């Protein structure tokens, strides 16, 4: 019996010894694993693999294909800049919006009105949007695009098309002593139904006019130097000219303004005129 008890005691002791050794080994393994984890954290995040995408190219110098701008004898640009890129209104005396209107052309509101005006030169046309009540007895109200000139007229242009034209509107060409509201002038142009020649012979004088019916088609106008003053003419084909009236504005000097005059007959309503075939002997540009 004593022998059996001794055997059992030996077995129990052996088991306890095995458990102690196993626990120590497990604890040692756990501590070793923790140390390895700490070492991994100390080394920081792993470096990502290099990218296979090609490096982005830095932008090189920018170039444009813009052609140089030149003008013809009438001062119209032959390589117009689009309106979005224009620096319109850069010239002193411009009124409203101006796109590609080259010097020496200047736009001016004569008199007073609230409607918005504009002047554009788009090959081969001048486009003018104007307003105003027109030529008064002693004061005028209209939109004027002009350049300096001398007695080296004629000045001519074709009225190609009207937009929002009416019986009260007039669009045409003008010779004028100055941009004062009561200055002497000679004008020939058209409404939606009539051709008009209007002139004021002296500063502050009452205007006189003559009119004839107009056909629904493009029409050319010309102001030429006559024996006693300026002659206003019109043509349906640009070849055969009809004198409407020999006007006699009394200019105080040989230099004056020539250009386009547009009005709608109202201070708050506009009319748009399309002109082409412009010929001029401007002071600034010489003979065409």
130 and 194 in a single domain? The answer is yes
Q: Which residues contact 218 (CB under 8 A, 6 or more apart)?
A: 158, 159, 160, 161
Positions in the chain whose pLDDT score sits under 70: 1-99, 151-153, 246-253, 282-288
162 and 245 in a single domain? The answer is yes
Mean predicted lDDT score pLDDT of the chain: 73
| 125 token code pair | 């046309």
Residue 123 within any structural domain of the chain: yes
In this predicted structure, what is the pLDDT of residue 88?
32
Q: Which range marks the domain in which residue 186 is found?
A: 83-279
Digit-coded pLDDT (tens) for 223-233: 988 777 788 99
201 and 102 in a single domain? The answer is yes
How does 54-81 read in b/e, with b if 16+ C-beta sit within 10 Å? eeeeeeeeeeeeeeeeebeebbbbeebe
100 and 207 in a single domain? The answer is yes
**Cβ(145)–Cβ(260) under 8 Å?**
yes
Number of domains in the chain: 2
Residue 131 within any structural domain of the chain: yes
In this predicted structure, what is the pLDDT of residue 99?
63
27 and 167 in a single domain? The answer is no
Residue 255 within any structural domain of the chain: yes
Residue 18 within any structural domain of the chain: yes
In this predicted structure, what is the pLDDT of residue 228?
74
Residue 286 within any structural domain of the chain: no
> Which element (helix H / strand E) includes 239?
none
- Whose tokens are 């058209």? That residue is 190
The closest of 159, 175, 188, 157 to 75, measured between CA atoms, is: 157
Digit-coded pLDDT (tens) for 32-84: 444 444 444 444 445 555 555 555 544 444 433 333 444 454 554 443 333 33
CA dihedral 40, 42, 43, 48 (to 10 degrees): 80
The number of residues making up the chain comes to 288
The closest of 245, 262, 222 to 135, measured between CA atoms, is: 262
1 and 91 in a single domain? The answer is no
Residue 208 within any structural domain of the chain: yes
181 and 258 in a single domain? The answer is yes
Distance in angstroms (rounded) separating the CA atoms of residues 217 and 193: 10
5 and 90 in a single domain? The answer is no
In this predicted structure, what is the pLDDT of residue 260?
98
CATH of the domain at 233: 2.60.120.200
269 and 153 in a single domain? The answer is yes
Residue 265 within any structural domain of the chain: yes
Instruction: Residue 120: count other Cβ atoms within 10 Å of its Cβ.
Output: 21
Distance in angstroms (rounded) separating the CA atoms of residues 240 and 233: 10
111 and 253 in a single domain? The answer is yes
23 and 125 in a single domain? The answer is no
165 and 28 in a single domain? The answer is no
In this predicted structure, what is the pLDDT of residue 108?
93
């Amino acid at each position: 019996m004593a022998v059996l008890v001794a055997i059992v005691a030996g077995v129990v002791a052996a088991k306890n010894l095995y458990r102690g050794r196993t626990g120590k080994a497990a604890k040692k393994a756990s501590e070793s694993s923790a140390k390895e984890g700490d070492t991994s954290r100390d080394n920081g995040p792993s470096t990502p693999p290099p990218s296979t995408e090609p490096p982005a190219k830095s932008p090189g110098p920018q170039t444009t294909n813009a052609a140089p701008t030149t003008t013809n004898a009438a001062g119209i640009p032959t390589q117009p800049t689009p309106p979005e890129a224009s620096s319109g209104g850069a010239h002193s005396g411009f009124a409203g919006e101006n796109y590609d209107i080259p010097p020496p052309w200047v736009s001016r509101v004569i008199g007073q009105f609230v409607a918005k005006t504009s002047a554009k030169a788009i090959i081969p046309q001048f486009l003018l949007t104007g307003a105003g009540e027109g030529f008064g007895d002693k004061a005028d109200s209209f939109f004027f695009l002009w350049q300096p000139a001398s007695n080296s007229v004629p000045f001519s242009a074709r009225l190609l098309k009207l937009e929002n034209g009416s019986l009260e509107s007039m669009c045409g060409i003008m010779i004028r002593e100055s941009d004062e509201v009561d200055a002497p002038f000679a004008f020939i142009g058209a409404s939606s139904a009539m051709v008009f020649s209007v002139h004021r012979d002296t500063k502050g004088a009452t205007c006189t006019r003559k009119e004839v019916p107009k056909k629904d088609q493009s029409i050319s106008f010309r102001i030429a130097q006559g024996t006693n003053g300026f002659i206003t003419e019109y043509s349906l084909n640009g070849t055969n000219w009809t004198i409407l009236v020999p006007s006699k504005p009394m200019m105080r000097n040989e230099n004056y303004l020539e250009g386009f005059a547009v009005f709608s007959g109202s201070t708050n309503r506009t009319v748009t005129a399309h002109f082409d075939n412009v010929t001029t002997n401007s002071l600034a540009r010489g003979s065409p």
